[in-house]
Amino acid sequence: MTDINSLLQARYGTGTSSTSNVVTNPSLETLLQHRSVRNFLPQSLAPGTLEVLIAAGQSAATSSNLQTWSVVTIQDPNRKAKAAALSANQEFIRQAPLFLVFCADLRRLTQVSQQQQTPGVALEYTEMFIMATVDATLAAQNVSVAAESLGLGICYVGGSRNQPRELAELLHLPHRTIALFGLAVGYPDPAKPAAVKPRLPLHEVLHQETWDDDIEKQKEHFTAYDNAIASFNAGEKREGIPAWTERSALRVAGVENLNGREIWNEVLHERGFDLK
Ligand SMILES: Cc1cc2nc3c(=O)[nH]c(=O)nc-3n(C[C@H](O)[C@H](O)[C@H](O)COP(=O)(O)O)c2cc1C
């Protein structure tokens, strides 16, 4: 088993300084060694794996046990190619044997309300969309960790939000459901291994008791992280990538960087998420 401090060192890259006495275990190892995989072998998942992954997803906590999410699996190569084309045309989606599309699902509770002859008015509020998004995301992360524990690799796909109307049509999504993101799953190609990408320094995200808004400390964190990411990119032989701060600022600089996702408020209303 890998020592916890080696795992933490890899997680923070050059930005880490603290040491831990926590004894590592397989769960921590899986979590701390996560990396997105974008190169897959053309090998199908072993029989029964899909069901275990979804059961792991369903094992996540869910608000009021309402389970306001669903997932559409795509294994058919033609449909997967179409889903890839609608998801920023990313090649690894075609390559992965399994593509999961996680959906916010308020349709189920609409049906339950109808059957119980109750008005279901709460379903018209933004809160319920947030609930469905949180539920779907927790489930997806459980699926991801379960997949990684089995030696599979995963990559989330926010690109699946670029053309929400077309993706809904492809997957026959009914009213009051919407695809939130995709998840490519498959066996990692050992010839093109993915590396652990460092995260921001722990104290940049950790606020103890109350929010620590020390801007000078934050600037130090940014510098440390820009350096950690620069070392990571150098190790990956990825040249000319701007620093994390520059890249992140550019990512949110203009609406064009939303890659079509600026229509989401409109699409949510169309699909029956009223967002009152
Ligand atoms: C919701 C979500 C959407 C993402 N969408 C994409 C995507 O469309 N394409 C992609 O290559 N990576 C995507 N990623 C992966 C992130 O780029 C990746 O998690 C991040 O760079 C950190 O790297 P790591 O996962 O290897 O630690 C997404 C991740 C999340 C959580």
Mean pLDDT of the chain: 97
The residue segments making up the domain with residue 75 are 37-190+242-270
Residue 4 has pLDDT above 80, yes or no: yes
pLDDT for position 15: 54
Per-residue pLDDT band at 19 (split at 50, 70, 90):
confident
What lies within 8 Å, CB to CB, of 127 at 6+ separation is: none
The conformation of residue 68, written as its DSSP 8-state character, comes to -
168 domain-assigned: yes
Q: How far is the CA of 21 from the centre of ligand 1 (A)?
A: 30
256 domain-assigned: yes
User: Atom of ligand 1 at shortest distance to CA of 195?
Assistant: 26
Is the CB of 90 inside a 6 Å radius of any atom of ligand 1?
A: yes
Residue 207 to residue 42: CA distance in whole angstroms: 44
Is the CB of 158 inside a 6 Å radius of any atom of ligand 1?
A: yes
pLDDT for position 2: 87
Task: Scan for tokens 């449909």, then name that residue.
Answer: 79
Q: What percent of the chain has pLDDT over 70?
A: 99
Q: Total structural domains in the chain? A: 1
108 domain-assigned: yes
14 domain-assigned: no
What lies within 8 Å, CB to CB, of 73 at 6+ separation is: 50, 98, 99, 100, 101
Residue 24 to residue 42: CA distance in whole angstroms: 33
pLDDT for 128-187, tens place per residue?
Answer: 999 999 999 999 999 999 999 999 999 999 999 999 999 999 999 999 999 999 999 999
236 domain-assigned: no
pLDDT for position 16: 59
User: Atom of ligand 1 at shortest distance to CA of 34?
Assistant: 27
For residue 56, the domain's CATH number is 3.40.109.10
Residue 215 has pLDDT above 80, yes or no: yes
15 domain-assigned: no
Per-residue pLDDT band at 110 (split at 50, 70, 90):
very high
Task: Scan for tokens 């997806």, then name that residue.
Answer: 140
Q: How far is the CA of 242 from the centre of ligand 1 (A)?
A: 17
220 domain-assigned: no
219 domain-assigned: no
